[in-house]
Amino acid sequence: MSTPDSPPPSAGAASDAPGSDEDRAARVALTWLVEPGHRLVWSLVQSYGAPATLELLLRGDSPDAALQTAVLAKRDRIDPRRFAETTLHRAERLGARIVVPSDDEWPARVESLATLELGVPGRINIDVRPPLCLWTRGALPLGETLDRSVAVVGARAATGYGIHVTGDLAHGLAENGWAVVSGGAFGIDSAAHRAALGAGGRTVAVLACGVDRPYPAGNTAMFEQIADVGLLISEWPPGSEPLRHRFLVRNRVIAAATAGTVVVEAAARSGAAQTMSRVLALGRAAMVVPGPVTSAMSVGCHELLREHPDAILVTSVPHVLEAVGRIGEYLTPPARGPEHRRDSLDEESVLVLEALPARGTIPTEELAARAGLTVRTVLRRLSLLELAGLVVRRDGEIALSRGSGAAP
């Protein structure tokens, strides 16, 4: 990728230092001028800083003609520096704040997007670099909250099955001290947020619009509750509209900022499946809940499991915790059916038990013949089986006890 041979004249000024007012304002202006994740813009900011990159673009020196055309079109409509100043004041009145990479609460995981390569054509799959800044509403520290977080995403047109499973997973994660991250949409997203709130836990909604106008409007009450006890976050400045492509741009942040992502339901082509492609490429825990094979809302989940060996099938909270926790922090016991008293018996005792008739009694000698054991061995095993409450003696003969569960 080509970049200017030398930095713009203002690069390196003390007022342009990372985290300064000028740096923050420049990042706001850049995010308004160019959609987040833009590969070249992020590279320029890394090389020269945000203020110098903004100056370079505004004076028409971009090495990319298409980028320059888009920037100049927006510049001629609204002064980017004035926009940034107004937006920062507006955010302060709204109770929102801007977080930049030099801040202590910057979520370190999102920096992994710096090396993400999807190998798929299209701007959405190419411009996947880290955010220049993040807007937040809520009192929780952003980085600390996301350090121990799991994303739970899925279909908007969720089924009753999907809503039920999502509620169980999100509630359990919140009870175990994990923040639940999702996108705030109807269906699986809303079920995840509400379950975490119901558990008294933390939840984070990553938006594709400004934090002052969360979308969809039907979830307004939920968003306000999240802002009170959790976090609303967005790359787009306050006032930004939820344009369709922004949901796909936003998904890379969900994938990168969390320890892992659970997809509960997803159609054959869906935003949730697109999010999971980023999760897999980043090497995060990619967890998939299977569904009924007859459900169109589980087709995407099953395809993920079929096509990606690294995808992890999960059906419960312990499965998710085992995937995202530190090694040895959570160990999921193997699935077992109901335990019976006969499960702990030795092999000879089992032979004796199975040789007993389902009804009635049997002499000891005949029992030994049926079990293929000596009478002496059978007598020893019968004593153990009596203590276990599995057999009884009646008139010198042997019978199964009632409720022993030992009948074949």
pLDDT, position 408: 41
Residue 398 phi/psi, 5-degree rounding, is -115, 140
pLDDT, position 19: 81
Predicted confidence (pLDDT) at residue 8 exceeds the cutoff of 70: no
Strands (E) across 170-242 are located at 179-182, 203-207, 231-234
Predicted confidence (pLDDT) at residue 227 exceeds the cutoff of 80: yes
pLDDT, position 396: 85
Predicted confidence (pLDDT) at residue 250 exceeds the cutoff of 90: yes
For the segment 188-217, the average pLDDT, to the nearest whole number, is 97
**Sign of torsion over alpha carbons 301, 305, 306, 307:** positive
Predicted confidence (pLDDT) at residue 12 exceeds the cutoff of 60: no
For the segment 24-28, the average pLDDT, to the nearest whole number, is 97
Secondary structure percentages of the chain, helix, strand, coil, to 5: 50, 10, 40
How crowded is residue 95: how many other Cβ atoms within 10 Å of its Cβ? 13
Q: Percentage of the chain with pLDDT > 90?
A: 77
What tens digit of pLDDT does each residue of 366-396 get? Answer: 999 999 999 999 999 998 898 888 999 988 8
Q: Are 80 and 27 in contact (CB under 8 A)?
A: no
pTM of the model: 0.82
Predicted confidence (pLDDT) at residue 1 exceeds the cutoff of 50: no
pLDDT band at 341 (very low <50, low <70, confident <90, very high): low
Domains and CATH numbers, the chain: 14-85 (no CATH), 123-324 (3.40.50.450), 341-400 (1.10.10.10)
pLDDT, position 327: 59
Nearest to 214 by CA among 234, 194, 197, 188: 234
